[in-house]
Every structure is written in structure tokens, then in C-alpha cells.
Amino acid sequence: MIERWALVSGLCGDLDLYERIQSDLKKQRGIAHLFVLGDMIGPDRNCDALLTRLRQPKRGDLQPNCIYGWWEEQLLVAYGYRGEPAQSTQNRTTSIQELRKAVDPAHVSWLASLQFGFIELDCGLIHGSSADVGDPLQETTSPLILLDRLTRLDVNRLFTARSGQQFRVQLTGGQIQSKVKDPTSEQQREQAVPKRSVIGIGSGANYTLYDPASDRVEFLSVAEKSRLSNLGFG
């Protein structure tokens, strides 16, 4: 039985967009889990209706599993749930003021309860990266940085949303050679390094489907036809 994942981010308070994605998902086969990878809120519109829907799904909705993103962290810093605020600029101060207006305080404790990310099978699901919620991994990011972000979580696939881009970067596997010496002998060992990948899930109207059984990634938009990525690790 196919049990695919849907991965969404960057709704930024847009309930209409969320409803269109939910409607689109009902047309897809085998969607078992919906992951919302942060930036559910934003300063540009009132976010209360969307947050209420995420917390209290309607009958027929695919149940959302939510983590916090960059905008949620900014709000939580402003309310004292997270560390020190970043150095203020006029634009940032205005954005945070608008963000506080956009989210009813009744939702803040729920946002503060959300996790930084999920580990599912051998996959990490995070808004930014294992280094920071604001880390915007991209297709052009150095492979060494991508490998570091994967290694920190000890996963083979990392799904990220911060850049807003849809992409898949595959890191070729290989072998690690080591020598072990004792007083009487020397042994050489080889350890296989699995192929790994970093997947950008997109943002807003652009979202991603993933089939863990086949390692198949599909990039979709509620406004466009889908684009398939290359298949699994072979």
C-alpha cells in the first residue's frame, strides 16, 4: 500500500491557500501524512483563522503535523519564549510589530510547544537545517555544508523549506577506509557511505510529495502540473 507524505511550508496565514492544498491532496493517491514545515504565520495578513484550522482540523482534512519556522521563532522571541532578539532595524521592528498584530496571543503557547523538526525513518524534516531554523539551504549550497547538515541529524535525506525553492541535491556515496593497528598486526577496513540527499520542498503554493518506499520525490503546485524529480538511490 502506498503511504506518501505531503510537505508544505510558507502558508503565512493564508487559509484559502491551505484549503486549496488540502483539496489538491485529496486528488492524489496514497497520501498518508501531511507535514507543515513552519512559516505558518507572517506579518502580511491575519493568521488566526489558519492557526485555528491547523489546531482543529475539519472533517476530511489530512491531519497536519506542524513544526515551527523562522517567522514563528521571531514571534516567540518577541514574546520571550526564545533567546535574545536579533539586532533591531527599523524594517525588522516594523515586521515584528505587524507579526504580533497578525497572531492572537491565544495561539502563542501552542506555537511555543511545536518541535524544531521531525525524524521519520531515515529522513529529517526541518524548516531551515539542523544548524539553524533560518539556514536557507539551496541547490547551490556547498556539498560539504549539505553533508554537515545531514550528519548532524544522522539521516540520509533532509527535507528543508527555508529557501522556498524546490530542488533535490544528491550526494554520491562512497567508502571510508581505515587502518587498525595492534601489537601483532594491522587491519584495513572499509565502510560504505550511503548516498544522501537534501530536498527543498518549496513554499506557499509549491509543495512536495514523497514516497519513502520508492524514494520518489514529486514537486507540485496548486496552480501547475507536477514535476517529477529523479528516482531513488538505486
Does the residue 233 lie in any domain?
A: no
Task: Convert the pLDDT of each residue in 56-70 to its tens digit.
Answer: 999 999 999 999 999
- Flag the least confident range among 155-164, 178-187, 225-234: 225-234
Place of cell 497520501: 31
Task: Convert the pLDDT of each residue in 44-101 to its tens digit.
Answer: 999 999 999 999 999 999 999 999 999 999 999 999 998 765 555 567 778 999 999 9
pTM for this structure? 0.86
The enclosing domain of 125 has a CATH number of 3.60.21.10
Does residue 176 have a pLDDT over 60?
no
Domain count, the chain: 1
Place 180 in a pLDDT band, splitting at 50, 70 and 90: low
Give Cβ neighbours of residue 76 (< 8 Å, ≥ 6 apart).
68, 82, 108, 111, 112
Does the residue 168 lie in any domain?
A: yes
**Cβ proximity of 11 and 50 under 8 Å:** yes
Does the residue 149 lie in any domain?
A: yes
Task: Convert the pLDDT of each residue in 10-27 to its tens digit.
Answer: 999 999 999 999 999 999
Does the residue 33 lie in any domain?
A: yes
Sign of the alpha-carbon torsion through 168, 62, 55, 12: positive
Q: What local confidence, expressed as pLDDT, does residue 224 receive?
A: 57
Domain that holds residue 204: 4-228
CA neighbor of 229 nearest in space, from 120, 213, 220: 220
Does residue 182 have a pLDDT over 70?
no
Place 173 in a pLDDT band, splitting at 50, 70 and 90: low
Place 191 in a pLDDT band, splitting at 50, 70 and 90: low
Does the residue 234 lie in any domain?
A: no
